[in-house]
Structure 1
Amino acid sequence: MWNPSKKLRTIACKILIILFSMTTIFHIFALLQVVPFQYLWGGRLGSVKEMYLMESVSLFVTAFFLGSSILYSRYLNQGLVPFWTRIVFGFVGTIFLLNTIGNLVAVTDLETLLATPVTAIISIICFSLVSKYENKTS
């Protein structure tokens, strides 16, 4: 199984932290209605009330993913990445893989063209962080 180096894992964590931070800001803009709700959730939202519910959940989940990325980075710097953290990234990778498939069938072109590559990249990066990290100091 592929086992990326500490340097690659550190870069991957930094990319995730940047992407999840940007996504958090996007969800805040959506909740503030800077982004029209018709462009969110694949164009399938029926009302502003529905948007508030879905975007609140999205913001919470994204904040969890951001926190997990920061934790992973800290554990990596200590030379130990706990098993539960790797399970979280397997779960996050799976969620974003499914999200990528959902983005491909979105009603809005904006989501298909913009969100699909982002969710695919996040999924790939998350899966790269799942393998056991062994601090090889030789």
Structure 2
Amino acid sequence: MWNPSKKTRTIASKILFVIFSLTSVFHIFALLQIVPYKYLWGGRLGSVQEMYLMEIISLIANGFFVYCSYLYLRYLNLGLVPFWIRIVFGFISGIFFLNTIGNLVAVTNLETLLATPITAILSVISFTLVPKYENKTS
């Protein structure tokens, strides 16, 4: 079975930490209406109120993803990645896989062209953290 090395997992968790952090900043810009809501959520938002609700949910989710990426790296450095956090990254991978499909059918080209590759990459990188980690010290 495929078992990424500690170095691969370290790089993957650091990449996720950075991307989720930057995505959180993007969602803050959206909440501040620096990014117009018509470009968000596939162009399907009907009002500023809808945007606030969806962006707050997104910001909370991204904060959770940032925290999980940090925890994964911490556990990895201790030589033991618990089962529950691998399940979380399997869930995150699935969310971003579905999000990639949603981005492909977005109303706005910006969402399709910009968000699709990002969510596809997030899905693949998150999946890298799912297999059981075996600390091979010998």
TM-score bracket, normalised by the shorter chain, equals: over 0.9
Identical-residue share of aligned pairs (%):
74
Q: Which residue does 1:64 correspond to in 2? A: 64
Deviation at 1:37, TM superposition (A): 0.2
Structure-1 separation of matches of 2:18 and 2:37: 24
Q: Flag structure 1 segments of 5+ consecutive residues without an equivalent.
A: none
CA apart distance, 1:5:
0.3
Task: State yes or no: 1:78 paired with 2:109.
Answer: no
1:38 alignment partner in structure 2: 38
Aligned residues: 138
> What are the within-5 Å matches in structure 2 for residues 97-112 of structure 1?
97-112=97-112
CA distance in structure 1 between the partners assigned to 2:52 and 2:89 by the alignment: 27
1:126 & 1:49 partners in 2: Cα distance?
31
Q: Which position in structure 2 is the counterpart of 1:10?
A: 10
Look up the SS of the partner of 1:99 in the other structure.
helix
Residue 129 of structure 1: CA displacement?
Answer: 0.6
- Aligned mates of 1:2, 1:108 — CA distance in 2: 37
In 2, the alpha carbon distance for the partners of 1:3 and 1:103 equals 30
Question: What does the per-residue CA deviation read over 1:57-95, in whole Å, with 9 as the maximum and x for residues that have no partner?
Answer: 000001001100000000000000000000000000000
Q: CA deviation at 1:104?
A: 0.3
Provide the C-alpha distance between the structure 2 equivalents of 1:78 and 1:90, rounded to a whole number of angstroms: 21
Q: Which amino acid aligns with 2:75?
A: Y
Give the structure 2 partner of residue 133 of structure 1: 133
User: Which amino acid in the other structure matches residue 98 of structure 1?
Assistant: L
For residues 122 and 2 of structure 1, the distance between their equivalents in structure 2, rounded to whole angstroms, comes to 19
Letter in 1 for 2:89: F
Aligned to 1:49: 49
Question: 2:10 aligned with 1:20, yes or no?
Answer: no
TM-score scaled by length of structure 1? 0.99
Q: How far apart are 1:39 and its partner, in Å?
A: 0.2
| 1:9-41 CA-partner distances (Å, limit 9, x unpaired) | 000011001100100000000000000000000
Q: Distance in 2 between matches of 1:111 and 1:3?
A: 33
Q: Which amino acid aligns with 1:40?
A: L
TM-score w.r.t. the length of structure 2 is: 0.99
Q: State the superposition RMSD in angstroms.
A: 0.4
